[in-house]
Structure 1
Amino acid sequence: MTELRTSKPRAAQVGTAGGLLRLSRPRQWHKAAIVFAAPAAAGALTVPAVVLRATLAGIGFVLLAASIYAVNDLRDAPDDRRHPRKWSRPVAAGAISPPVALAFGVSAAVAGLIIAGALGWATFGLAVAYLLAQGLYVLGLKHVAVVDLMIVALGFVLRAAAGATATGLPVSQWFLLVSLFGAMFLVTGKRKAEYVAAGNAITRPVLAAYSVAWLDQVLTVSLVGTAFVYGLWAFQYIHHDTYRELLAVSFLPFLTGLLRYALLVSTGRGEEPERELFRDRVLLAAGLTWVTLLTIGLYLA
């Protein structure tokens, strides 16, 4: 307790700019990179205009996410101050005042919507849907079992779809289904890892509504769904030219990565999938092999 009391004043000494940067959670910005998924799958990442528009979409969604983080930290500040890890968040620690956090959240939301609007009405609509869904999540739906999983997964799907609308590329049913099942797989894996790591000291209230058996069931369904839909997409290229057939071969490292991550989750790891990717050699090797096969199949064919 002494350490906690002496650490809080130091956290409050962080400058406003630094506090706002922490409030926007830079470690989470990489999630917006999913806007490049549709252009990548279409083999269009060699077109400068496509890359530019996808980059703008990514920036827009980073700003929208930052606005949600600000509202979340503002709303949860009283509880965060009593949390063993979250007490150091800028609002809870006193580094950022509630009015400044609110102003930052509103400004980030407006800026994100302006950027999305500049990329077309379809992208703007997806941005509004993302903001509304995540806002409802923060305002209470994150405490509703099952709904919390669906909203977090929906956030990934909306960003992936925005990458297509922003660049004017068609979205196939395979792309959307892989995005949905893949997002559900990662989100459920994260919840399972949190559940196992928490033990009897559950700090996320909604976890108390789950059971290991149910999470395992959803994890299995989402894994099978992701692998099945990806396989349907990949195997349509059999009997094409040699390079295109590598897309079918990419199913093997893709499935290996899914199964490896599921194994890590079963052992209590996987709470941060992006970190596990670089910590686990098998997962990293599977990921690199998959990306290599996709790159050759999509861009050299």
Structure 2
Amino acid sequence: MTSSLVKDYVKLIRPSHWVKNTFVFAPAIFSLKLLNSKELFSNVLAFLFFCAGASAVYVFNDIHDRESDRNHPIKKNRPIATGRISVRSAWILFTFLLLVAVGLSYPMNSYVAAITASYVVMNLFYTLYLKELVVIDVMIIATGFVLRILAGIFATNVHLSNWMLLTTFSISLFIGFAKRRHEIVSLGENASDHRKVLSLYNERFVDEMITVTVATTIIFYSLYTIDPAVVAKFGTANLVYTVPWVIYGLFRYLYIIYVKSEGGDPVEIVIKDWGIISSVLAWFVSVILFLYIK
């Protein structure tokens, strides 16, 4: 296998998008079990299995969308769309990743295996049909992040506040609608050629959804930090001081969407924009200091 072909396979499974699966670690962080070696090991395994499942979904998506991807200014360069990786080879890779994600996770934790399988099945239906349903398409994406949280909950056998689940769902909706906006703006009249559901959206509606989901994310996370049960659990009320980092991160994302006219790939924004990186790091360090170092 040549180095260029290896790069194509790596591009196909999208390892840069595995950053989304770090949501699996949230329950351990907010249950004071991040430093527990046994729980951390279970979390790492759940993370790896979810990465395999997510990559299987990416491969399936690229197989199914190879024709429409050829009409996209960026996605036309994907390995399957260009023909550098054959459809047959892609199906073999999909099967292997699925076996790793579900088959290997089952002996470790049947609940994690079930959640991973649910994520894969949900996204297969998304690729085949649900992505053509207005609003439902974005809600499916957001549900995927909630499933990541649930995988972390069952991997470490902990409880997480419902406020955190709502926060996860809300911020995922925000990112999803931001991506739809970028597609509408960047593709213009050809938007529906790439994704049919885009013909059912318009900028005004998506902008309203972005405004609502930003607001609910801030509200849900703020309510989480001041929830009496959360304060009692951690023995500190200082978690509320992490709210400004969340607000800055969201506002920075809005700046990227409306001023820099970006937002097509949220992963690229998260790993490349220093404003977002700084807010995430500041938030993470603050959480660790307030919860683990008292």
- Tell me the TM-score normalized by structure 2: 0.89
Q: Distance in 1 between matches of 2:263 and 2:286?
A: 25
Q: Distance in 1 between matches of 2:276 and 2:20?
A: 18
Q: Distance in 2 between matches of 1:280 and 1:122?
A: 36
Question: Which residue is equivalent to 1:246?
Answer: 238
For residue 214 of structure 2, the aligned residue among 197, 206, 223 is 223
- Post-superposition shift, 1:98? 1.5
Matched residue count? 289
Identity across matched positions, percent? 28
1:232 aligns with 2:223: yes
Change (3 A) 1:124 1:66: same
- Post-superposition shift, 1:243? 8.5
Is contact 1:53–1:166 with CA below 8 Å preserved after alignment?
A: yes
Question: Which residue is equivalent to 2:252?
Answer: 260
Gaps of 5+ in 2: none
- Post-superposition shift, 1:280? 4.4
Question: Which residue is equivalent to 1:272?
Answer: 265
Question: Does 13-22 or 123-132 show the bigger shift?
Answer: 13-22
Question: Does 196-205 or 61-70 show the bigger shift?
Answer: 196-205
Is contact 1:67–1:105 with CA below 8 Å preserved after alignment?
A: yes
Q: Distance in 2 between matches of 1:72 and 1:182?
A: 23
1:123-138 correspondence runs (5 A): 123-138=112-127
Is contact 1:188–1:219 with CA below 8 Å preserved after alignment?
A: yes
Amino acid at match of 1:298: L
Rg comparison, structure with higher value? 1
- Post-superposition shift, 1:264? 2.4
For residue 197 of structure 1, the aligned residue among 149, 163, 186 is 186
Amino acid at match of 1:147: I
Question: Which residue is equivalent to 2:133?
Answer: 144
- Tell me the TM-score normalized by structure 1: 0.87
Q: Distance in 2 between matches of 1:27 and 1:282?
A: 19
Question: Which residue is equivalent to 2:292?
Answer: 299
For residue 107 of structure 1, the aligned residue among 73, 96, 101 is 96
- Post-superposition shift, 1:18? 3.6
Q: Distance in 1 between matches of 2:291 and 2:263?
A: 30
- Post-superposition shift, 1:156? 0.9
- Post-superposition shift, 1:275? 3.3
Is contact 1:243–1:296 with CA below 8 Å preserved after alignment?
A: no
- Post-superposition shift, 1:227? 1.1
Question: Which residue is equivalent to 2:279?
Answer: 286
